[in-house]
Amino acid sequence: MTSTDFNASSSSKPQKVKVAAIQMNSQGDPAANRAQATALIRQAAAQGANFIVTPEYTNIIHHEEKDSLDSISADDDTNPDLRHYKTLAQELGVWLDLGSMAVKLAPDKMANRQFMINPAGDIVARYDKIHMFDVDLPNGQSFRESDTVRPGETATVAQTPFGKVGMNICYDLRFPEQQKAEALEGGASILTVPSAYTVPSGQRTWETFLRARAAETGCYVIAPGQCGTYEDGKGASWGHSMIVSPWGTVVPQAADPDKPGIVIADIDPAEVAAARESYPVDAQTMKFKFNVQAADAQRPDGQAAPAPNKTSRFNFIPK
């Protein structure tokens, strides 16, 4: 650890910080996953990381979330994972973002919940994944996360000594209005996107979306991912964990996209300020309307007449 005080929950001036994205290959055994994550977190801390982020479903993963229900606990003091990671963060003196854990809400329902733990071992922020992964992929795979997972309703920005952190989980990445709100309205300078990205989606969009969100918001993006196969090959995750600068460039990414490991980089708030000064999208975001022309609506001059003006539901005007 450096002499910098990372124990405070916020600071008037964000501090530089060394961050680590943890790449895991979680399976259906919470105890084994806990051991894997702990070893990687300790390795990251030994390399000087003060802020460590684990991937989506750090504690357990199944192709169908219902298969996790019998092995998970509620979000309370009896949860063995929460007790362990709170103690670990305190022991190592680090900020630990549990990218997400499956936590039980009811016999047939769970939350996909992210936890921000400070160096005192306190949970200072929680975020429940808002956008459910209910999709049918071209390769024939289907996912229905909402069958078991109760979606969140509130985007969360956590206060830390190294800046405000917008908390996102995996499929949220496809909805840029959430990250833009976290940055422009919530003041986030860092976005976390812990994921268990599918291989087909990863091949098409993972790096593209991460770099776009960083450039759009002028934020650092920390994106730890699950990797490899799980459930005897029934599921597979893309890996390719990375950290992206506020300019939209990949700083580092996983040396091996298919194996557990860590990705470490230094985050400098001055880079956020420089990117936003060069591209002041906050000040330049404009309110607008749009016209949808009806094909059968003809004006006297033969041109299609515009439909009535509509205000875009995606307008985001922070000021």
Positions annotated as catalytic residues are 56, 129, 170
State which amino acid sits at residue 144: R
Q: Report the alpha-carbon distance of residue 47 to residue 236 in Å, rounded.
A: 29
B/e letters for 174-195, b = 16+ CB within 10 Å, e = fewer, are eebebbbbbbbebebbbbbbbb
* Other C-beta atoms lying within 10 Å of the C-beta of residue 40: 20
- What is the helix, strand, coil percentage profile of the chain, to 5? 25, 30, 40
**What tokens appear for 73 in the block?**
């606990």
**What tokens appear for 147 in the block?**
């069958």
Distance, first Cα to last Cα, the chain: 39
Full DSSP string of 211-269: HHHHHHHT-EEEE-BBEEEETTTTEEEE---EEE-TTS-EEEE-SSTTS-EEEEEEE-H
* Other C-beta atoms lying within 10 Å of the C-beta of residue 19: 25
